[in-house]
């Protein structure tokens, strides 16, 4: 059952990101203020797996930016007695952004991160199937490394989804 919960939550987050009102709509809204519009995120750029950047680059053709969505941890804390699962699912969205020049890397990364965070903020509430999102999250920016098109930076967004199912 727990493996199914992680997969169900991951699929829901991927659906929210790739929906018509998802990250691409947020990117469009963020760039109305005169910023240079970044490229839209294709469905193939959103993956439901936990894989490091190095392994992903060796495994095949990567198109940046990439978004990896995965379940980090399941906690059945039995908040509601006599439920088969009552607790939280800790989720992660890992955004990898790459370009050939260091100039503007942080700006591009910030724009995509802000768009992903807007999607999360807009999806607060009941997700169905016993899943609900209260709205809290953390975003951690990693250092710039060599990789991708030359320079690669990663942002990891973590959040918890509440679960109450029989």
Between residues 147 and 23, the one the model is more confident about: 23
Parallel, antiparallel or unpaired: strands 66-75 and 85-99: antiparallel
Residue 27: its pLDDT value, please? 87
The tally of domains found in the chain comes to 1
**Percentage of the chain exceeding pLDDT 90:** 63
pLDDT class for 161, splitting at 50, 70, 90? very high
| Angle, CA of 146, 17 and 151, to the nearest 5° | 10
Long-range CB pairs of 118-126, under 8 A, 24+ apart, other chains included: 118/26, 118/29, 118/30, 119/16, 119/17, 119/22, 119/23, 119/26, 120/16, 120/157, 120/159, 122/21, 123/16
Residue 65: its pLDDT value, please? 93
CATH code for the domain of 140: 3.30.2000
pLDDT class for 33, splitting at 50, 70, 90? low
Average pLDDT, the chain: 90
Mean pLDDT along residues 24-29: 87
Tokens of residue 77, six digits: 């804390």
Phi first, then psi, for residue 141 (nearest 5°) are -90, 130
Mean pLDDT along residues 79-85: 90
pTM, entire model: 0.90
* 122 has a pLDDT exceeding 90: yes
Residue 74: its pLDDT value, please? 95
pLDDT class for 61, splitting at 50, 70, 90? confident
Q: Domain range for residue 120? A: 2-165
pLDDT class for 37, splitting at 50, 70, 90? low
pLDDT class for 32, splitting at 50, 70, 90? low
């Amino acid at each position: 059952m727990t493996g199914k919960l992680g997969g169900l939550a991951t699929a829901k987050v991927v659906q929210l990101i790739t929906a018509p009102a998802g990250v691409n709509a947020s990117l469009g809204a963020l760039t109305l203020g005169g910023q240079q519009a970044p490229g839209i995120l294709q469905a193939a750029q959103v993956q439901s797996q936990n894989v490091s950047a190095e392994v992903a680059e060796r495994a095949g053709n990567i198109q940046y930016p990439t978004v990896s969505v995965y379940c980090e941890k399941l906690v059945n804390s039995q908040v509601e007695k006599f439920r088969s699962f009552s607790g939280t699912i800790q989720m992660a969205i890992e955004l990898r952004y790459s370009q050939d020049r260091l100039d503007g890397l942080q700006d591009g990364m910030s724009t995509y991160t802000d768009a992903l965070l807007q999607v999360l903020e807009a999806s607060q509430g009941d997700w169905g199937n016993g899943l609900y999102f209260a709205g809290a999250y953390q975003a951690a920016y990693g250092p710039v490394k060599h990789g991708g098109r030359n320079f690669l930076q990663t942002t990891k967004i973590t959040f918890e989804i509440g679960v109450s199912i029989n």
